[in-house]
Amino acid sequence: MTEPSVHLTINGRSMAIAGVPPEERLLDTLRWRLGLKGTKEGCRTGGCGACTVLRDDRPALSCLTLTHDAEGTSITTIEGLEGDPVGEKVRAAFDAAGALQCGYCTPGFVMALTGLLREGGSSIPLGELLEDLGGNLCRCTGYAAIVRAVRSAREALA
């Protein structure tokens, strides 16, 4: 059975990707087919947030998305935040706060926070913003610096 090509806009570039098996996850398409290895595989069960990307500007779990079912959508990965006004502020906040230890969870946190701030801006109460990041885990438990980064990213958008 020949699979139809999948049409996606990846980091602003539209492309037709041929030969994607029906069971392939978006996470694997991004990492192994397109070489975008900033998106990480953590638990592969939607429980850790390491694979978070933006799908049509909203946070999505690329490990729980069939690539074929993402047909026609626009995907932004950590590599595509260059020039994004919210994304760049979030990245700068993580950088300034030193909000990473091993760095494995960082792209997921940056994408999740970028999605949340795009949705609600700086009007979201800090407590709710932190609660809404509860789907992202840091295996190094470096949360104190991450919380500082979240606070300063939110303030930078005010």
Partner 1 sequence: MAPFAVVAPASPDEAIAELRAAGPGEAVVLAGGTDLLFDLEDSRVGPRRVVSLRRLPWRTLDWNGPSLTIGSTLPLRAIETDPEVRRRIPGLYAAVRAVGSVALRHQATLGGNLGRSAPASDLIPILLVLDAEVDLLGPSGERRIDVDRFVLGSRRTALAPGELIRSIRIPEARPSAYLWQRVRPFHDISHMAVAVAFSAARSAWRVAVSGFPPRPLLVPEAEEALGGPEPGPEAVARAADALAAHAPIVADRRASEAYRRQLVRPLLQRAVQAIRAGSGGR
We find the least distance from the C-beta atom of residue 18 to partner 1, in angstroms, to be 15
Report the residue number, 96 or 157, with the smaller CB distance to partner 1.
157
Nearer to partner 1, 98 or 119 (CB): 119
CB-nearer residue toward partner 1: 92 or 124: 124
Binding site for partner 1 (CB under 8 A): 1, 21-23, 25, 45-47, 49, 52, 55, 58-61, 64-66, 68-69, 71, 112, 115-116, 119, 131-136
Alpha-carbon distance 25 to 42, whole Å?
14
Which SS3 state, helix, strand or coil, does residue 109 take? Answer: helix
Nearer to partner 1, 52 or 152 (CB): 52
Which residues are bridge partners to 76 per DSSP? 54
Cα separation of 48 and 143, whole Å? 14
From the CB of 151, what's the least distance to partner 1, in Å?
18
In contact, 104 and 42? CB cutoff 8 Å = yes
Pair 86, 57: CB distance under 8 Å: no
